[in-house]
């Protein structure tokens, strides 16, 4: 089956290779053409335009940065929009529920079928075909396994990990809820780790107690090494994308009448990490913002207790020499 993938960044490139390995004919387009061209060696057909990729494809898989990019590439270009009739648009990036519903209405009006299927997991899972997939559509795609969607989802995930949530918008909401937890857990762990280190308490004792408790989450150990080394390496999921998702969550939470104090605080911390030049690093780089907040965010009482020297907030997390990370990787 001919499949087009629009967006061959960190995740899109891995999905291209995975689908080719599963026997799919894959056509790919990316705004930065070189990234699509690099996939030719893996058996992917690079396309010069999105319209070229969509033309002739049965399914168009979207891994673009956000809803604005989707609209610009797929719907604002009349040449591409004219090709949507009879095709299935499989939106697998992270966008807001209302954004997804709006895009669905426009795709349907153009004669296409729209399915949202955001994923949880990163590059290793995309490469192995073990992504967790949430589906929002008129019906569960497993009901029609002979259709184009179910086999493709099974190539990227595994049947027990493909979850039909409900109508379009519901899967997007679940995905944002999960990504909000990524931010909450990481910022919360960074803050606890920072206090443990600056108190002089041994980190290994802290982690032993944490692992034995109901408070433990595996992501803590997954990110611990990066945080202790203060080297945030090549990003599977960069800080800038986490900020985008938390802001989306905050907007949706406000619209739903929920208190947004927590996501607003998370956005502030992540924004401060980005202000330090860590936007393309692994999102565990939020530790740097926790350890050295802007002077304006340090309570006056703390500043006074430190003799007015807020620079101490940027000192070593381990009580020794401060090793600032310079590990910034290229964006996608």
Contacts of residue 306, Cβ cutoff 8 Å, sequence gap at least 6: 312
The DSSP annotation for 293-311 comes to --GGGS-HHHHHHTTT-GG
* Catalytic residue selected from 14, 17, 175, 276: 175
Alpha-carbon distance of 314 to 143, in angstroms, equals: 55
> Residue ranges of the alpha helices (H) in the chain?
10-21, 33-37, 50-54, 67-70, 78-81, 97-109, 123-128, 149-156, 170-199, 203-211, 218-229, 239-255, 261-275, 286-291, 300-305
Catalytic annotation present for 205: no
Contact (CB, 8 A) for 318 and 269:
no
Q: How many residues does the chain have?
A: 332
Contact (CB, 8 A) for 89 and 113:
yes
Q: SS3 sequence, 177-231? A: HHHHHHHHHHHHHHHHHHHHHHHCCCHHHHHHHHHCCCCCCHHHHHHHHHHHHCC
Report the first-to-last Cα separation within the chain, whole angstroms: 27
Question: What is the b/e burial string over 91-117, where b = at least 16 CB atoms within 10 angstroms of the residue's CB?
Answer: bbbbbbbbbbbbbbebbeebebbbbbb
So which residues are the catalytic ones?
175
């Amino acid at each position: 089956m001919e499949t087009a993938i629009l967006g061959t960044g960190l995740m899109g490139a891995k999905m291209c290779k995975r689908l080719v390995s599963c026997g799919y004919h894959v056509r790919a387009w990316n705004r930065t053409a070189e990234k699509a061209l690099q996939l030719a060696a893996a058996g992917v057909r690079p396309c010069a335009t999105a319209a070229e990729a969509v033309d002739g494809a049965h399914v168009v898989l979207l891994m673009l940065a956000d809803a604005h990019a989707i609209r610009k590439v797929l719907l604002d270009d009349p040449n591409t929009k004219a090709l949507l009739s009879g095709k299935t648009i499989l939106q697998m990036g992270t966008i807001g529920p209302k954004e997804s519903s709006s895009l669905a209405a426009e795709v349907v009006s153009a004669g296409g079928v729209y399915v949202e299927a955001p994923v949880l997991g990163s590059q290793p899972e995309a490469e192995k075909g073990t992504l967790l997939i949430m589906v929002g559509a008129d019906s569960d795609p497993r009901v029609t396994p002979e259709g184009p969607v179910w086999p493709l989802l099974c190539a990227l995930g595994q049947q027990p990990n493909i979850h039909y949530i409900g109508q379009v918008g519901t899967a997007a909401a679940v995905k944002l809820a999960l990504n909000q937890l990524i931010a909450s857990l990481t910022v919360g762990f960074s803050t606890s780790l920072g206090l443990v280190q600056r108190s002089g308490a041994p980190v290994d004792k802290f982690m032993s107690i944490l692992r034995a408790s109901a408070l433990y989450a595996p992501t803590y150990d997954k990110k611990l090494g990066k945080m202790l080394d203060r080297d945030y390496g090549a990003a599977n999921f960069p800080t800038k994308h986490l900020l985008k998702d938390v802001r989306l969550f905050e907007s949706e939470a406000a619209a739903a009448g929920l208190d947004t104090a927590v996501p607003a605080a998370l956005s502030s911390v992540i924004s401060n990490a980005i202000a330090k030049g860590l936007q393309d690093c692994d999102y565990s780089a939020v530790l740097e913002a926790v350890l050295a907040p802007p002077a304006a965010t340090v309570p006056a009482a703390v500043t006074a207790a430190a003799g007015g020297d807020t620079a101490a907030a940027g000192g070593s997390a381990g009580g020794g020499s401060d090793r600032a990370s310079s590990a910034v990787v290229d964006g996608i």
